Amino acid sequence: MEVPVPYLGSVNVWLLLGDPLTLIDAGPSNEDAFAALEQQLADHGVAVEDLELVLITHHHLDHSGLAARIKERSGAEIAAHRGTAQWGRSYHERAAQEHRFTLELIQAHGVPEYVVAGSWSFFDYIVRASTNFETDRALRDGDTIRAGDRTLRAVFRPGHSTTDTLFVDESSRDAFVGDHLLATITSGAELVPTELPGDERRRALLDYLSNLRKTGAMDLATCYSGHGDADRPRDLGGRRAPRHPRQPWIGDGAGRRPRSPLFPPERCRRARCHEPDAVTRCTR
Ligand SMILES: [Zn+2]
C-alpha cells in the first residue's frame, strides 16, 4: 500500500495477512495518511482495528508516524529495533536536537542564510508528522519475530538512519528493508549528533556502504522497499558506491580544498559570491 508523504510523494506500507495480522511501517502522522491507509486496508478486507502487530523498519516519521495511533485503535503490539524504540520515547526532543546539530553544521560549512532559513519548515514538518510511540518488543540484531504467518529475522543495517532494520523471511528469501535499499534512487546517509559526549562521530556513509555490502552478500530474492518498487538485490553491484554529483568538487586535483560543500574551489573563492544562484554561476 502507498501512503502519501509530503516532500517525498509516498511511503510503502506492507500488509502481511496471517497470524499475527501485521503492518510493516505506518506512514506519517497526519489525517491524509491515516485516511489513505484506512481505505487501502479496507480494499484488502482489513480494518485498522484488526491489526495485531506493527513492525517499524526505522524511526523516520514517514515509517513510524502513525504507529501510536494504530496501536491506540487496534491494541496492536509495536515491534522495532531497540534504537527505534528509544526514538519512540522522545521523538520531538531528538528531532529538536538533530535540528540544532544540522543548523550548526550547515552554518559552519558556509551554507547561505536563505538555505539555512529553509530548514525550519522541514524540521517543523518533522515535528508535526511524528508522534511518540511505546514499543512492546524492542528487538536486537538477529532476533526473530512471528508476523503474518512468517518468521522474520531482524537484521540491523544502520547508515541511511541510525536505526535501519531489515525484516528477513529466511524461508522465502523475502526481506522488508525500509529505506536501506531503494530500487531507483540512492538512500541518503544521515549525519546526526553523537549520542554521548566524547563519542566519535558516526561515519554514516561508510556505515551505509559497508552494510549495503553485507546485504548484497545475503541470499535474498526480493527486497520490499520503503519507497517505490521492490528491489532485486542481485542488481546491487552497480549501486554499491553512491556518488554525489558534486563529488568532483571535493578536491580540485591540486590539493586545494573547497571551503564548503556548496561552493567548488577557486571560482567561489575568487567571486566571493553568496547570492542564491551562486552554485549555478560557479559551475560555469
Ligand atoms: Zn522513508
Instruction: Give the bridge partners for 176, in sequence order.
Output: 167, 224
Instruction: Round to whole Å and give the CA distance between 215 and 184.
Output: 17
CA of 13 to the centre of ligand 1 (A): 10
CA of 225 to the centre of ligand 1 (A): 9
All structural domains of the chain: 2-89+128-241 (3.60.15.10), 245-284 (no CATH)
Which segments of the chain have a pLDDT < 50? Answer: 237-238, 240-253, 259, 263-284
CA of 226 to the centre of ligand 1 (A): 6
- Spell out the alpha helix ranges (H) of the chain: 31-43, 61-64, 67-74, 82-89, 91-108, 113-128, 204-216, 267-271, 278-282
CA of 60 to the centre of ligand 1 (A): 6
Tell me the whole-structure pTM to 2 decimals: 0.81
> What pLDDT, on the 0 to 100 scale, is given for residue 190?
82
Instruction: Round to whole Å and give the CA distance between 91 and 128.
Output: 11
CA of 10 to the centre of ligand 1 (A): 9
Helix, strand, coil % (nearest 5) of the chain? 35, 20, 45
Helices (H) and strands (E) in the chain, counts: 9, 12
CA of 282 to the centre of ligand 1 (A): 32
CA of 8 to the centre of ligand 1 (A): 8
State the DSSP string of 179-204.
Answer: TSS-SSSPPP------SSTTPPPP-H
> What pLDDT, on the 0 to 100 scale, is given for residue 280?
40
CA of 180 to the centre of ligand 1 (A): 9
Check if the beta carbon of residue 232 is closer than 8 Å to that of residue 186: no
CA of 187 to the centre of ligand 1 (A): 9
CA of 62 to the centre of ligand 1 (A): 6
CA of 276 to the centre of ligand 1 (A): 29
Whether the bond into 28 is cis, omega within 30 of 0: no
CA of 256 to the centre of ligand 1 (A): 36
Instruction: Round to whole Å and give the CA distance between 232 and 252.
Output: 37
Under 8 Å CB-to-CB from 37, ≥6 apart: which residues?
A: 1, 3, 13, 26, 27, 48, 66
Q: Please provide residue 138's backbone torsions phi and psi, each rounded to the nearest 5 degrees.
A: -90, 115
> What pLDDT, on the 0 to 100 scale, is given for residue 147?
98
pLDDT tens string 215-253: 988 989 899 999 988 776 655 644 544 444 444 444 444
Side chain identity, residue 128: R
Q: Which residue has the cell 538485490?
A: 233
CA of 137 to the centre of ligand 1 (A): 22
CA of 135 to the centre of ligand 1 (A): 19
Q: Please provide residue 192's backbone torsions phi and psi, each rounded to the nearest 5 degrees.
A: -135, 160
CA of 181 to the centre of ligand 1 (A): 10
> What pLDDT, on the 0 to 100 scale, is given for residue 228?
86
